[in-house]
A and B are shown apart, each in its own frame.
Chain A
């Protein structure tokens, strides 16, 4: 099976802009979770989608949003970008059980100037 894929792999934006990241899960996986990875904070949970519904949400401001499509592909949107949003954004997919094994994508490296 193909692994989790993410596009684009790299992005450079300026403050105030918005950005959309995409994640395609492993075939058959219905859950997609998003994480922000920074050197100082490690992996921080953003949100999880299951069957097109947000099932869980971390402690991030409303500028961070997401959605999931019927084919389980997911997008994450960040509006009004801030310098502090520069990070590696990882998505992970799983079959869907709440404690199911997660498999990560390669990430999107976002740089905000």
Chain B
């Protein structure tokens, strides 16, 4: 089955800096890649997603890039703010089910 690896597991950045989280996947059939943000004690919230026919997608300070050849996709957060502190999960969908990365705990230091 699909295997999604996510790095780093923890990330600390200064407020205003950029943060990058990377995920790799193994199944070339994966065609949909969402990113979720989970604040402490809350549900995972979809923040951005990308489909395999698109290489990049941006939504204000958040962007996602996809490299199908290398089978990796990344989340980019620019101008980080303290409220960006949370755990971020990537996921890949093979058309049958979602496979999640193990999460990145992002801390934005004021």
Contact = CB atoms under 8 A, between A and B. Distances in A.
A22 to B, nearest CB: 15
Chain B residues touching A, range: 20 to 34
A1 B100 CA distance: 26
A99 B31 contact: yes
Nearest to A91: B43
B60 interface: no
Nearest to A102: B98
A42 B45 contact: no
Contact of B102 (A42, A101, A106, A107): A42
A44 to B, nearest CB: 8
A101 B36 CA distance: 11
A4 B96 CA distance: 21
A33 B34 CA distance: 15
Contact of A33 (B31, B97, B103): B97
A45 interface: yes
A26 interface: no
B46 to A, nearest CB: 6
A48 B97 contact: yes
Interface of B: 31-32, 34, 36, 42-46, 49, 51, 89, 91, 93, 95-103
Query: What are the 9 A-B residue pairs with the smallest beta carbon separation, nearest first?
Result: A43-B100, A42-B102, A99-B32, A104-B43, A99-B93, A104-B44, A106-B43, A98-B95, A56-B97
